[in-house]
């Protein structure tokens, strides 16, 4: 049983997945932020790998990647951070949120093997369609790394079986069209869309994009097995990263607020 499957084994409550861009704006701040989030009670950590052209990300997460890259962040350093987190938190699932260029550039087999050795549990290559993913799928299956795929509001139901065929860990449902970023409300058709997905897979569904507070979490958790929050967390790091104590305090408050929607 994988770390992810163990997390989702308990179905009494939806799980909270927190996203940060690794190494934003530097190693120590990112490490401190990750430790604060984990100790505050998140169920899964999603680490964004800094990339120069993050097409699925809104301004907040784009700027986070830019800050990390300006300070010399590399994919290898991201895995070094994973290793440190894994030593401290051996049971916490860690997902890499990345773009296929970074995987391909390293060599697919090498990238997945190195990720597994570092302690990564799953890889989500945002811009890789399932029809083109056979090499990554094979490598993930060989090294027992879960491969996560996206489904969006515009995905035709007829295409869902193709997307979920080789998926594992959980399905990432993008709750709104467009890029990552905070929104004022949760999509009104969420229940209907998740019902369509669950006709074709028994995998848990994690819902992300636009979720930023406890009220949003409560609405999503009524229908999904996991709630994914990113931009509102990244904003705290952006604004308060130069003051580690304040950043940690605000991250802890944010997680407390988000988890209030799970009770």
Strands 94-98 and 44-48: what pairing?
A: parallel
Q: Are 92 and 85 in contact (CB under 8 A)?
A: yes
Exactly one of 24, 43, 57, 238 is catalytic; name it: 57
Annotated catalytic residue 46: yes
Distance CA 252, CA 96 (A): 22
Q: Name the pLDDT band for 182 (thresholds 50, 70, 90).
A: very low
Catalytic: 57? Answer: yes
Which tens digits make up the pLDDT trace of 198-210? 999 999 999 998 8
Q: What are the tens digits of pLDDT across the range 100-110?
A: 999 999 999 99
Instruction: Determine the angle formed by the axes of helices 27-39 and 231-240, rounding to 10 degrees.
Output: 130
Length of the chain: 263
CB 206 within 8 A of CB 224: yes
Question: Which residue out of 9, 24, 43, 46 is catalytically annotated?
Answer: 46
Domain tally, the chain? 1
pLDDT digits (tens, 9 = 90+) for 234-244: 999 999 999 99
Joined together, the tokens standing for residue 17 give: 């997945």
Cis peptide before 25 (omega within 30 of 0): yes
Q: The dihedral of CA 250, 252, 253, 258: what is its sign?
A: positive
Structural domain span for residue 118: 3-260
Domain with residue 64: its CATH number is 3.20.20.70
Q: Is pLDDT at 195 greater than 70 in this prediction?
A: yes
């Amino acid at each position: 049983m994988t770390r992810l499957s163990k997390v989702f084994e308990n179905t009494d409550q939806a799980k909270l997945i927190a996203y940060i861009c690794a190494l934003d704006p530097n190693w120590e701040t990112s490490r401190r932020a990750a430790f604060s989030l984990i100790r505050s009670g998140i169920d899964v950590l999603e680490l964004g790998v800094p990339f120069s052209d993050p097409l699925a990300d809104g301004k907040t997460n784009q700027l986070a990647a830019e800050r990390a890259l300006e300070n010399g962040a590399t994919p290898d350093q991201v895995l070094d951070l994973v290793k440190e987190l894994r030593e401290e938190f051996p049971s916490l699932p860690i997902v890499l949120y990345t773009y296929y260029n970074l995987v391909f550039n390293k060599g697919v087999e090498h990238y997945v093997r190195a990720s597994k050795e570092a302690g990564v549990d799953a890889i989500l290559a945002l811009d890789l369609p399932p029809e083109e993913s056979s090499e990554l799928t094979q490598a993930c299956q060989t090294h027992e790394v879960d491969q996560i795929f996206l489904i969006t509001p515009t995905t035709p139901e007829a295409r869902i079986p193709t997307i979920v065929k080789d998926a594992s860990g959980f399905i990432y449902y993008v709750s709104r069209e467009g890029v990552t970023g905070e929104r004022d409300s949760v999509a009104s058709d969420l229940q209907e869309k998740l019902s369509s997905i669950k006709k074709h897979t028994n995998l848990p569904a994690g819902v992300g994009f636009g979720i930023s507070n406890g009220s949003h979490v409560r609405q999503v958790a009524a229908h999904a097995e996991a709630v994914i929050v990113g931009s509102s967390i990244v904003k705290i790091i952006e604004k308060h990263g130069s003051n580690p104590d304040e950043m940690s305090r605000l991250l802890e408050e944010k997680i407390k607020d988000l988890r209030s929607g799970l009770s």
